[in-house]
Amino acid sequence: MKLAQYVVQRFIGYLLVLFIGITITFFLPRLMPGDPINNYISQVQARAGQSLSAEATQQLRDSLAELYGLQGDIFTQYRNYLARVVRLDFGPSFTYYPEPVSNILLDAMPWTAGLLITTTLLSWLIGNSIGLIAGYFNKRRWATVLEVVGIILYPIPYYILALVVILLFAYWIALFPLSPTFLPGPMTWNKAVSIIYNSFLPALTLILAGFGWNVLAMKALAVATKEDAYVQFARLKGTTDRTRMTNYVFRNAMLPQITALVLSLGFIFNGAIQTEVIFSYPGIGMTMRAAAGAGDYNLLYGAIILTIFSVATAALILDLIYPLFDPRIRLGG
């Protein structure tokens, strides 16, 4: 019964977070300078090479307001906006008119998700494995060297790390391209190899950016956990270092790291902008940048709501899987 109450409470909190985030998303773009309809009309006039008449301008303005859900007062727009969100219908994009926002996001999402999910998992696995070994054998000299590597990488800002990687592998050694070029058409073996090759620099930077924190965090947890009474008891029973390190230390030190992993996966779309802009990588980040520059409400709504949904869902998944790892929650302790 306690577990059922726990699950229900988490679902209610999840829905509340989504509602608040979606509501904030509605108002934030309206606080931005500029009017997307005026911007679009200016573009139409620039392409036509002449100014529209006052009547034609007003007709175009009314049509655009209806098309993009900007008719009526703020509360009418908010009600219509919520109805669209429920239907996952964000309308057409200003920037890529008449392409629907949902199609744009579906085209961009695999690039962002494929790159950031893969690198987040690799960084977590490599960093925690090295941190576990460095923490369990913390009195060895080589373990200190591993810790120093983590200490060096952790405080480096992402953009500095990205610049170093670009200079090293795109200019000095020139092994990888500075700007990625992806083959058009359906997925083939050659295209898959091209994607991996062109994605190496942003992937390497993301792995290095998360590597330092994972090493230091797991090392600190492993050092503290290996001194606990149950680990010492296992040592007195004659168990091997490998058994104690994996079955006793890692299993109990991994809970905070699981939390960090799930939240990192939820926040991958937040880190997409910086990564994709620096490396000219196609995805959600570049799409959001273009939408913000053009005042594209609909595209901003879709991209930001996608981010909110990913973060909230990651937190919900974390809450639901925690009882599998922590019996105190499962048993109501």
Band of residue 307 on the pLDDT scale cut at 50, 70, 90? confident
pLDDT at 165: 84
Mean pLDDT, the chain, rounded, equals 76
On the question of pLDDT at 56 being above 70, the answer is no
Query: Superfamily assignment of 108-285 in CATH?
Result: MetI-like (1.10.3720.10)
pLDDT at 52: 59
Complete DSSP assignment for 40-96? HHHHHHHHHTSPPPHHHHHHHHHHHHHHTT--S-HHHHHHHHHHHHHHT---B-STT
pLDDT at 138: 80
Q: For the residues 287-293, what does the mean pLDDT come to? A: 75
Residue ranges per domain, the chain?
A: 108-285
Peptide bond into 184 cis (omega under 30): no
Q: For the residues 172-189, what does the mean pLDDT come to? A: 72
Residues in CB range of 224: below 8 A, 6 or more apart: 253
pLDDT at 14: 84
Q: Are 223 and 138 in contact (CB under 8 A)?
A: yes
On the question of pLDDT at 260 being above 60, the answer is yes
Angle of the 272-279 helix axis to the 284-294 helix axis, nearest 10 = 90
Q: For the residues 136-140, what does the mean pLDDT come to? A: 82
In this predicted model, which residue has the larger pLDDT, 332 or 203? Answer: 203
On the question of pLDDT at 330 being above 80, the answer is no
pLDDT at 184: 62
pLDDT at 64: 66
In whole angstroms, what is the distance from residue 13 CA to residue 18 CA?
9
Span 1-41, pLDDT tens digits: 466 777 778 888 888 888 888 888 777 766 666 566 666 66
Terminal-residue alpha carbon distance, the chain:
13
pTM above 0.75, yes or no: no
